Amino acid sequence: MKKLMYIFGIAALLLAAGCSKDDGWNTPNGIKPVKPSKELTAFFDENLRLISSSLFDEYNEEIGSLVPVYVDTCIMVNSVAEFQAIHLPDGTPMQLTLPPIDFTKYTLVIGQYVLPSGDYVLIGQAVVLEPEPVTMTLAIESTGKGHQMVTVVPFGGLYPKITAESIQTNVVFKK
């Protein structure tokens, strides 16, 4: 549980920072996330775990709790209605009110990338619009702190409006 809180804490910090600083890597045609408002940053600091569980975990009735789903996932949210359409693993709608986002100008991208072993951290992210298909490119670095069975790297960011219908995930490993 402590490791899970650590992972979500890192994701919240990345969302808060917006990855706007120079993180030492370049992605051709890549668009870095914009810095979100303080209100949006606070919202994700407080709710990222619930949102991530809503998107990526399944409710197991036998044990009566959420079970992580180790699947690479990346979704784009282009409206409040799309955000409200996210459901909890038990099928009930998420009852969170998203802070104001001008969805005519911005797209919220949320996801997770699963690695089979190792201890990794997200050091940068960018959306690549051209050439198609639209791709979320993640820069991931090994911490060198040992190995575990599965590493889930959550990510999220606010980007200039993305009009594509789908998005793929690409990972670049940095040393």
Report pLDDT for 17: 40
pLDDT at 44 over 70: yes
Contact 117/153 with Cβ under 8 angstroms? no
Please report whether residue 98 resides in a domain. Answer: yes
Instruction: State the Cα–Cα distance between residues 107 and 112, nearest whole angstrom.
Output: 17
In this structure, of 60-69, 72-81, 98-107, the range with the lowest mean pLDDT score is: 60-69
Please report whether residue 30 resides in a domain. Answer: yes
Please report whether residue 34 resides in a domain. Answer: yes
Please report whether residue 118 resides in a domain. Answer: yes
Domain membership of residue 14 as a residue range: 2-59+69-174
Give the pLDDT band (50/70/90) at residue 1.
very low
Please report whether residue 64 resides in a domain. Answer: no
Three-state secondary structure string covering the chain: CHHHHHHHHHHHHHHHHCCCCCCCCCCCCEECCECCCHHHHHHHHHHHHHHHHHHHEEEECCCCEEEECCCCEEEEECCHHHHHCCECCCCCECCCCCCCCCCCCEEEEEEEEEECCCCEEEEEEEEECCCCCCEEEEEEEECCCCCCCCEEEEEEEEEECCCCCCCEEEEEEEC
Please report whether residue 129 resides in a domain. Answer: yes
Residue 8 burial by CB count (10 A; 0-12/13-18/19+): exposed, middle or buried? Answer: buried
Please report whether residue 41 resides in a domain. Answer: yes
In this structure, of 51-55, 116-120, 135-139, the range with the lowest mean pLDDT score is: 51-55
Tally the domains of the chain: 1
Is the link from the previous residue into 133 a cis peptide, with omega within 30 of 0? yes
Please report whether residue 52 resides in a domain. Answer: yes
